[in-house]
Amino acid sequence: MSGPVRFAPTATSKSSATRTKAQAMADQAKKRFGQNFLHDQNMVAKILAIVDPRPGQALVEIGPGRGALTQGLIRGAGRLTAIEIDRDLHQGLLTRFGRGLSLVAQDVLTVDFAELADQAGQSIRIVGNLPYNISSPILFHLLPVAHRVVDQTFMLQKEVVDRMVASEGSKTYGRLSVMLQARYQMERRLVVPPGAFTPAPKVDSAIVSLWPKPVSEIGVRDWSTLARLVTAAFATRRKMIRNNLAAELDRLDLAAAGVSETSRAEEISVDQYVALANQLASPPASPL
């Protein structure tokens, strides 16, 4: 990727006492940034084999942390753009990876991924052992730029991955499943136990891959209408859909979408939600 390094290191002017303090801060995992660092090299190798980075590809890593995945990603692709919010980790990353790394010292939720693709002059591949406290907001932040993305490979809480890939009829099927499955093909790749991380999280983790569907395969006319409809449908899981969608019912033809009035939200398929949302969203708006 040819974009500028957006962070200028300043440590050369710091005293050694300040550097020691910075090092101590960097060594401490911060709960507020969801820091669980991967230390299991076997697991690192498995994740890198899934990503399979190749020279010339435009890779973006979210949350490189201490660089567990970064090293192998740069070795494969030649260079990497990494987005890391924790200032205490920046200098260590720049020192270790030098010119191979373009560091975006920013909150990932404020990063314009379309701009990163513009800078790269190609679609990007996104990788990350995500901070679990903001994993769903990250997934939703990436939805509108999916057309600029080749694939995404993420480590997440296993329970979240199960919700992402859940089919209708299952207890874990919900808003996250519908919105992501409408846009991506997804596959759960690997379950990762807590012992692979320092500190160990309280839950299992899993690797998931997401491939944006070709635009020609996406039937969604307007994503904000789909999001609004799905949020309303799942507002109360126990209620029948005619109650959860009462406010829209006069504009909806449930039968035309193959949906029974007495269905519950979790019994309605992704295609049926898309069909219902499209009834509300005519004439066609711009697709993603």
Decide if residue 22 touches ligand SAM (CB under 6 A). no
Decide if residue 34 touches ligand SAM (CB under 6 A). yes
Interface pattern 172-211 for ligand SAM (x via CB under 6 A): ----------------------------------------
Residues whose CB is less than 8 angstroms from the CB of residue 21 and which lie 6 or more positions away in sequence, other chains included: none
Interface size with ligand SAM, residues (CB under 6 A)? 22
Decide if residue 38 touches ligand SAM (CB under 6 A). yes
CB of 31 to ligand SAM, least distance (A): 10
CB of 208 to ligand SAM, least distance (A): 15
In the complex with ligand SAM, the residue whose CB is nearer, 68 or 146, is 68
Window contacting ligand SAM (CB under 6 A); options: 32-40, 72-80, 216-224, 280-288? 32-40
Whole-angstrom distance, CA of residue 92 vs CA of residue 39: 17
Among 102, 129, 135, 136, binds ligand SAM (CB under 6 A): 129
Decide if residue 131 touches ligand SAM (CB under 6 A). yes
Interface pattern 208-247 for ligand SAM (x via CB under 6 A): ----------------------------------------
3-state secondary structure string, the chain?
CCCCCCCCCCHHHCCHHHHHHHHHHHHCCCHHHCCCEECCHHHHHHHHHHHCCCCCCEEEEECCCCCCCHHHHHHHHCCEEEECCCHHHHHHHHHHHHHHEEEECCCHHHCCHHHHHHHHCCCEEEEEECCHHHHHHHHHHHHHHHHHEEEEEEEEEHHHHHHHHCCCCCCCCCHHHHHHHHHEEEEEEEEECHHHEECCCCCCEEEEEEEECCHHHCCCCCHHHHHHHHHHHCCCCCCEHHHHCHHHHHHCCCHHHCCCCCCEHHHCCHHHHHHHHHHHCCCCCCCC
8 A C-beta contact, residue 74 and residue 80: yes
CB of 105 to ligand SAM, least distance (A): 9
In the complex with ligand SAM, the residue whose CB is nearer, 159 or 271, is 159
Site for ligand SAM in 66-125 (CB under 6 A): 66, 68-69, 83-86, 107-109
CB of 100 to ligand SAM, least distance (A): 16
Decide if residue 33 touches ligand SAM (CB under 6 A). yes
Among 3, 37, 204, 267, binds ligand SAM (CB under 6 A): 37
Whole-angstrom distance, CA of residue 80 vs CA of residue 242: 49
The residue ranges that bind ligand SAM (CB under 6 A) are 33-38, 63-66, 68-69, 83-86, 107-109, 129, 131, 134
